[in-house]
Amino acid sequence: MLEKLLEGIEKPGRYINHEAGTKSKTLNYIGEHPGGHSLMKRILYSADGAKETATGIMDCSALQVPGKLSWLHLSGLSDTAVVRGIGDCLGLHPLQMEDIVNTEHRAKIEITDALLFSIVKHCTFSDAATHIEHVVIVLTAS
């Protein structure tokens, strides 16, 4: 009975990109900001300093530069094709990629032999509102 009453009710401002019958490997964005583009910024760190590059599309080799530490900052998770491309490059499990595009996912951490996968919430408070940001951190050995 309760399930029938709650059927079809969504939180205000919540967007679910979901079609009935989608495969489990399909990424569906869940969050407040549908549409838009992902913005990527790569920072390469070395003994000589840091070099920042804004980019739209990145191949896997750009994430792994010998002798340098790569930091990839991605803003805008609703473009699931970009998330899938980066996830494939990093060797993320499809369920981890689903967790990335679900901005309502609870905080968690997973540690495997290959990587550390963490979801945290960054909260800011003001007199007018509380803002909660979905932050995903993936650390790999390469």
Close Cβ partners of 120 (under 8 Å, ≥ 6 residues apart): 107, 135, 137
**Residue 19: what are its φ and ψ, rounded to 5°?**
-120, 140
3-state secondary structure of 21: coil
Handedness of CA 44, 63, 120, 103 (dihedral sign): positive
Smallest CA-to-CA distance from 107 within 122, 93, 120, 124 is with: 120
Model confidence at 2, pLDDT cuts 50, 70, 90, reads very low
Taking the CB of residue 92, how many other CB atoms lie within 10 A of it? 22
Sheet containing 130-140: order of strands: 108-111, 115-125, 130-140
Over residues 47-91, the pLDDT tens digits come to: 999 999 877 666 677 777 788 888 888 888 888 888 998 899 888
Tokens of 92: 């993320």
Smallest CA-to-CA distance from 56 within 76, 34, 29, 70 is with: 76
The number of CA neighbours under 13 Å toward the Cβ of 46 is: 9
Over residues 18-53, the pLDDT tens digits come to: 555 555 567 888 888 766 778 888 888 989 999 998
